[in-house]
Amino acid sequence: MRFRETRWPIEPVAVLWMAVGWLGFAVLPWYGIEDGFFGFSWLFDGYPSDSEFAPALVLALKGEKLWLAPLGLLLVVPLLLWGRTKSDPVFSRLLIIVSAAGFGWLLFQGFAIGLRGWQFGWLTSLFGELGDRQFGMGYGALLVSGAFLFLFTLGVAARGAVSGDVFVVGSIGFVVAMVAIFIFMPILMMLANAMQTDDGGYSPVAFLAKLFSSRLWSLACLAGGSRCGVAWNSLLLAVLVGLLTMFLGLVFALVVTRTGFRHGKLLRALTVLPIITPAFVIGLAIILLFGLSGAVTQSVAGAFGLQPTRWVYGLPGLLIAQVLAFTPIAFLVLMGVVEGVSPSMEEASQTLRASRWQTFWTVSLPLMRPGLANAFLLGFIESMADFGNPLVLSGNYDVLSTEIFFAIVGAQNDAALAAILALVLLAFTLGAFYAQRFWIGRRSYTTVTGKGDAGVHPRLPAGLTYALYVIAGLWTAFTVLVYTVIFYGSFVKLWGVDQSLTLEHYRKAFSVGWNEFGIHWSGSAWSSFWTTMEITLISAPLTAGIGLLTAYLLVRQNFRGKNAFEFATMLSFAIPGTVIGVSYIIAFNVPPIELTGTGIILVLSFIFRNMPVGVRAGVASMSQIDRSLDESSLTLGANSWQTFRRVILPLLRSAMLAALVYSFVRAMTAISAVIFLVSARYDLSTSYIVGRVENNEYGIAIAYSTVLIVVMLMVIGLMQLLVGSRNIGRRGIQQGDGGWSVRTNVSLPGTAGGPTTIAGAG
Amino acid sequence: MIKRAILGAGILAAGMWAASSSASAESLTMYCGVDEVWCQQTARAFEEKTGITVNMTRKSAGEIYAQLRAEAANPKADIWWGGTGDPHLQASEEGLTVEYKSPLLNQLQPWAIKQAETSGYRTVGIYSGALGFGYNKDLLAKNNLPEPKCWADLIKPEYKGHIQVANPNSSGTAYNMLATIVQLFGEDKGFEYMKALHKNVNQYTKSGSAPIKAAGLGETTIGIVFIHDAVSQVVAGFPIVPVTPCEGTGYEIGSESIIKGARNLEAAKKFYDWALEADVQSMAQKAGSFQVPSNKAAKTSDKAPDLSTIKLIDYDFKKYGSSEERKRLLKKWDEEVASLPQ
């Protein structure tokens, strides 16, 4: 790429963003539009003069909403830079001041003036009643705030930050703004909400009373009472699930990598299933097997002459369902780690005459620590956040995630209580996160050094091998049984009563009819199905995009505050979906950002919930690409954007696919966050299925899930076809060419070791 | 090149899809408080009749009420159709719904009109149903239990662990039961009853009709629900026997309300009237719902419980439908009943 040497009288990037800003200020409607911007009906309904659809400029000229007018003035000021170069100190100073003022004012007016005029008491006392109000911001406001943001980063870059790279500084600014608005702001607003009392005041006393209520923390069950507090219930369950999934994941990983087991592919395929199954469907199958009238319970009770009980409702059932659902994740995490442990260490141990047992216990296992910790943490967080299984299986064993839900939707409608419960949940997951970092410590687990490493892993002790086979075999058989039940259940007329085969459930959910207005999707599942496809297919590429961009910044750029930046981008990983859901409702139900009831809020929740995985996948593959590639691109005159687009991105195909597939699958199966965010217009498959399960319409729920599983497999195949695989010479591609090595890239922020930090030594 | 072509085709298809989905003109957003099947049937029937697209979400009455309150500053829905009457009354009391007198009001049963009058015409009855319970006859026989006939039977120790009822905090049905017991036995004795019942309950479900469905599947022996819910289980083929308690029982008036600040007010009114028509209400039984319709001319199934043969208490909807009383009773239930060991 050649640079044009003609000098512009003013920096072209600044002109570009000013133009964008003016487009937002003077052309697009400032406020959000009821019927949706892209319906374009606003164009014919009195635009631009109608106050509802008017751009800010028109509003200002009409003398309405005068608080918007300063924004327009601030957008003109950068023209003062006429004739100044980027290196001129006045250039950067002016841009920074103007854009910071603009952005700040935009936010301030948004928060200060809401649906009922002034939002803050002190403003009312200062200026009296406003007598006017405003709705949520729309595309006009979006463009203006974007313009201010990028003018600001341009100013910062002009001061010489990150070697004055406009693209990099802009990207950092963009990611930081996004994370601040869509992760930090909702959490902080939730915190504020937790302190609120019924009548709208703030009371720390009420907050503490709710926080330390016996309903949450009672230990009565230890002293022979009936129930323990909800918090303890959740904690106990999550710890057990974390430990069990870690253990089973390790067993499977060892079986596949260390025992000469030949059907590893088959086992991998089996692990895919629970990942793409909507979680509560497993819970349902558990009921059908182990419920009071479940097949297993009945036959066991019949065989031994016992009275069948409802034993499965509560901790046992939850444990079975969650371990079943989350073991694959632990397996995929541990696979990478177990494979990555260098044989040389183990060989050294054996040369020093350690027995196979000693080698396994004292060398191999400790080297897997980071993987074990990650696996535990994932199981722990998933269990804490799991909503679907407790909904059908918890019986009277209440856990935090469902309690949060019913604090909001129950007749008592106590949003403050929900926020407090969500905080407790968040404290647990963040606590576990730090505990695992502490446990791993600062020791080095690096065994992949890039030096010659031709050894072969030693065989495991024979006894251990057999034990592993037995455990893995039993668990596999159990998984197969559960899925048989799921599949079979979708064709049975009335489970437990009428076992005759039928297609009725599929017909009910997916029938298509015809009427005078055209095709009529009369099946009850269609509406939520199309919405789900639309939302997930929109959010998956966006998630992958922002994830890879962040990864590029983390791996390839150095800037101040990088650690804090990394933590912020990874934070949402430790936040359970239920918490995200609650905080999004609290933050985005009222202006300035008014998103509840739209599809956008679903897309956003998916993006920011799944972004960390995109980041981790990107970091992992980018670490393997030598910097000299970027450098040669830069030396040849390309700028950092071109380098990113033309050199790095094509080499990142596997990471891209991983991020795409993961975010797609997560969006399709997510329930904990979206259950709060779905609306009549945008109902998602999972929340629809939960509704059916709640009403014991098991047939439809299972049939729908089966369809979803098939659709997911198809879409994943299609994604693979579209993204393609990177072609790096004649070398075989070692990692990430199949969709399902995806999870091995899951690692947590800052954890030493794990597959992601295996650095390619040039 | 091929990849590009596929990508291009994909984008084109997505674009066309987006265009076609945004093309429909009139729409109605409905919160539906009855069973999914009935909700779907009603929404689709209205669509077919009028061409107005119906965006429907099914939730329990309590959830809908909570959502309306949360969205009060900025309502998202137009109409709230179905679900037990109390939260409808609460919503009208709090001004979440609008006053509307349907021209079809004179075709309705007296209790439906009374419901409208109580609320200042902010809601109207569309069906009613009596509270009761149902048992799984196979399980009952298997456990050698006597047939329960009265409320008083349910607190007998032999039914320990056999009864399921919804949690009144999340279900309008269960709140209706709580209010019925309080009105039937008086508040003190009523709470004594609830405490005794608590010992026999194996699970408080979240949704009102879940207990009888669990009974149908054999996951519990007895479920306390509205009798029409038990009847639909019978019709579906489950071994359920519906029981109307001998002491008399409370009832609900399923209602509909137009939401204040509705974005599609005209469509909402159209739906409101349409839902009161006799032949529309007669369709309910096709969806397996056996409530008593509010339009006098609407046909009922012979399987539907005949309200005139059931001993109904004089349910005070005004008092027990009010937010204040509801909050008080729920709090009391939480503190005095739910916290007890079982």
pLDDT at A721: 82
Q: Which tens digit of pLDDT belongs to each residue from A382-411?
A: 898 888 888 888 888 888 988 887 777 665
Of B36, B167, B202, the CB nearest to A524: B36
- Provide, as residue numbers in chain A, all residues whose Cβ is less than 8 Å from the Cβ of B326: 411
Q: Which of A145-149, A310-314, A627-631, A720-724 has the lowest mean pLDDT?
A: A720-724
- Provide, as residue numbers in chain A, all residues whose Cβ is less than 8 Å from the Cβ of B6: 721-722
How far is it, in rounded angstroms, from Cα B122 to Cα B120?
Answer: 6
- Provide, as residue numbers in chain B, all residues whose Cβ is less than 8 Å from the Cβ of A537: 14
Please, which pLDDT band fits residue A6 given cuts at 50, 70 and 90?
Answer: low
Residue A275 within a domain? yes
Distances from the Cα of A751 to the Cα of A440, A488, A732, B28, angstroms: 8, 42, 29, 50
Contact state of A695 with B209 under an 8 Å Cβ cutoff: yes
Q: Which of A206-210, A268-272, B51-55, B180-184 has the lowest mean pLDDT?
A: A268-272
Question: For residue A514, what is the domain's CATH number?
Answer: 1.10.3720.10
Q: What residue of B is the nearest CA neighbor of A116?
A: B73
How far is it, in rounded angstroms, from Cα B125 to Cα B108?
Answer: 8
Q: Which tens digit of pLDDT belongs to each residue from A537-554?
A: 999 999 988 988 998 888
Residue A6 within a domain? no
Sign for the pseudo-dihedral over CA of A666, A670, A676, A677: positive
**Which ranges constitute the DSSP H helices of A341-399?**
343-351, 356-359, 365-367, 369-385, 388-393
Please, which pLDDT band fits residue B20 given cuts at 50, 70 and 90?
Answer: very low
Contact state of A291 with B44 under an 8 Å Cβ cutoff: no
pLDDT at B270: 94
pLDDT at B184: 93
Topology at the third CATH level for domain B25-128+253-304: D-Maltodextrin-Binding Protein; domain 2 (3.40.190)
Mutant choice from A529, A695, A721, A727 vs B, greatest count of B C-beta within 10 A:
A695
Contact state of A696 with B22 under an 8 Å Cβ cutoff: no
Contact state of B170 with A406 under an 8 Å Cβ cutoff: yes
- Provide, as residue numbers in chain B, all residues whose Cβ is less than 8 Å from the Cβ of A695: 35-36, 207, 209-210, 213
- A483 and A517 together in one domain: no
pLDDT at A238: 95
Contact state of A409 with B67 under an 8 Å Cβ cutoff: yes
Contacts across the A-B interface (CB distance below 8 Å): 160
pLDDT at A412: 59
Of B21, B31, B218, the CB nearest to A292: B218
- Chain A: nearest CA to B47, how far in angstroms? 9
Q: What residue of B is the nearest CA neighbor of A719?
A: B7
Residue A181 within a domain? no
- A375 and A472 together in one domain: yes
CB B202 within 8 A of CB A312: no
Contact state of B206 with A695 under an 8 Å Cβ cutoff: no
- Please give the helix or strand (H or E) that residue A216 lies within, else none: helix A214-217
- Provide, as residue numbers in chain A, all residues whose Cβ is less than 8 Å from the Cβ of B60: 409
pLDDT at A619: 78
Q: What residue of A is the nearest CA neighbor of B18?
A: A534
DSSP 8-state assignment for residue A626? -
Mean per-residue pLDDT of chain A: 80
**How confident is the model over A503-517, as a mean pLDDT?**
78
Of A292, A412, A694, the CB nearest to B206: A694
Please, which pLDDT band fits residue A246 given cuts at 50, 70 and 90?
Answer: very high
Q: Which tens digit of pLDDT belongs to each residue from A161-179?
A: 888 888 899 999 999 999 9
Report whether pLDDT(A299) > 50: yes
pLDDT over 90, % of chain A: 13
- Chain A: nearest CA to B238, how far in angstroms? 7
Contact state of A520 with B326 under an 8 Å Cβ cutoff: no
pLDDT at B180: 94
- Provide, as residue numbers in chain A, all residues whose Cβ is less than 8 Å from the Cβ of B29: 680-681
Q: What residue of A is the nearest CA neighbor of B238?
A: A497
Contact state of A722 with B3 under an 8 Å Cβ cutoff: yes
How far is it, in rounded angstroms, from Cα A29 to Cα A39?
Answer: 13
- A525 and A655 together in one domain: yes
Please, which pLDDT band fits residue B14 given cuts at 50, 70 and 90?
Answer: very low
Q: What residue of B is the nearest CA neighbor of A517?
A: B51
Residue A498 within a domain? no
Tokens encoding B224? 């306390």
**How confident is the model over A708-723, as a mean pLDDT?**
84
Distances from the Cα of A742 to the Cα of A318, A604, A668, A732, angstroms: 26, 22, 16, 18
- A609 and A698 together in one domain: yes
For B129-251+322-338, the fitting CATH number among 3.40.190.10, 3.40.50.12780, 1.10.10.10, 3.30.1380.10 is 3.40.190.10
Residue A59 within a domain? yes
- Provide, as residue numbers in chain B, all residues whose Cβ is less than 8 Å from the Cβ of A34: 263
> Can you tell me which residue has the tokens 């194996």?
B202
Contact state of A522 with B44 under an 8 Å Cβ cutoff: yes
Report whether pLDDT(A371) > 70: yes
Tokens encoding B334? 């939480």
Residue A170 within a domain? no
Q: Which tens digit of pLDDT belongs to each residue from A725-753?
A: 555 554 433 443 333 333 333 333 333 33
Mutant choice from B20, B175, B219, B259 vs A, greatest count of A C-beta within 10 A:
B219
Report whether pLDDT(B56) > 70: yes
Contact state of B21 with A515 under an 8 Å Cβ cutoff: no
Residue A363 within a domain? yes
How far is it, in rounded angstroms, from Cα B174 to Cα B199?
Answer: 16
- Provide, as residue numbers in chain B, all residues whose Cβ is less than 8 Å from the Cβ of A137: none
Mutant choice from B26, B38, B47, B67 vs A, greatest count of A C-beta within 10 A:
B67
Of B14, B17, B170, the CB nearest to A411: B170
Tokens encoding B123? 């809601």
Distances from the Cα of A564 to the Cα of A166, A570, A608, angstroms: 21, 10, 17
- Chain A: nearest CA to B52, how far in angstroms? 10
Please, which pLDDT band fits residue B23 given cuts at 50, 70 and 90?
Answer: very low
How far is it, in rounded angstroms, from Cα B39 to Cα B100?
Answer: 22
- Provide, as residue numbers in chain A, all residues whose Cβ is less than 8 Å from the Cβ of B22: 36, 38-39
Neighbours of A144 (CB within 10 A): 30
pLDDT at A225: 63
Q: What residue of B is the nearest CA neighbor of A391?
A: B206
Where is pLDDT greater, at B323 or B27?
B27
β-pairing, B53-58 with B240-243?
unpaired
The number of CA neighbours under 13 Å toward the Cβ of A631 is 4
- A110 and A137 together in one domain: yes
- A304 and A397 together in one domain: yes
Report whether pLDDT(B165) > 60: yes
**How confident is the model over A26-47, as a mean pLDDT?**
78
pLDDT at A2: 47
**How confident is the model over A455-480, as a mean pLDDT?**
84
- Provide, as residue numbers in chain A, all residues whose Cβ is less than 8 Å from the Cβ of B167: 406, 410
- Total domains in the fold of chain A: 3
- Chain B: nearest CA to A597, how far in angstroms? 7
Range of the domain at A41: 12-159
Contacts of B299 (CB under 8 A, 6+ apart): B278, B282, B285, B293
pLDDT over 90, % of chain B: 37
Q: What residue of A is the nearest CA neighbor of B51?
A: A517
Report whether pLDDT(B183) > 90: yes
Of A515, A517, A680, the CB nearest to B30: A680
Contact state of A411 with B220 under an 8 Å Cβ cutoff: no
- A154 and A243 together in one domain: no
Give the end of a domain, one of A111, A128, A159.
A159
Please, which pLDDT band fits residue A451 given cuts at 50, 70 and 90?
Answer: low
**What type of residue sits at position A213?**
S
Residue A179 within a domain? no
Query: What residue ranges in A24-135 does DSSP mark as E strands?
Result: 113-114, 117-118
Of B55, B58, B65, the CB nearest to A691: B58
Contacts of B123 (CB under 8 A, 6+ apart): B85, B88, B89, B91, B92, B97, B115, B116, B255, B256, B257
- Chain A: nearest CA to B106, how far in angstroms? 32
Contact state of B213 with A683 under an 8 Å Cβ cutoff: no
Tokens encoding A88? 């001129």
Mutant choice from B16, B80, B169 vs A, greatest count of A C-beta within 10 A:
B169
Mutant choice from B217, B324, B326 vs A, greatest count of A C-beta within 10 A:
B217
Which residue, A407, A668, A646, is CA-closest to A537? A668
- A558 and A478 together in one domain: no
How far is it, in rounded angstroms, from Cα B276 to Cα A327?
Answer: 52
pLDDT at B15: 43
pLDDT at A163: 80
Report whether pLDDT(A47) > 90: no
Contact state of B65 with A679 under an 8 Å Cβ cutoff: no
Please, which pLDDT band fits residue A322 given cuts at 50, 70 and 90?
Answer: very high
Report whether pLDDT(B303) > 90: no
- A422 and A297 together in one domain: yes
pLDDT at A116: 63
- A527 and A465 together in one domain: no
Q: Which of A96-100, A337-341, A449-453, A667-671 has the lowest mean pLDDT?
A: A449-453
**Parts of chain B belonging to CATH 3.40.190.10:** 25-128+253-304, 129-251+322-338
Give the end of a domain, one of A117, A135, A159.
A159
ipTM attached to this prediction:
0.71
- A322 and A267 together in one domain: yes
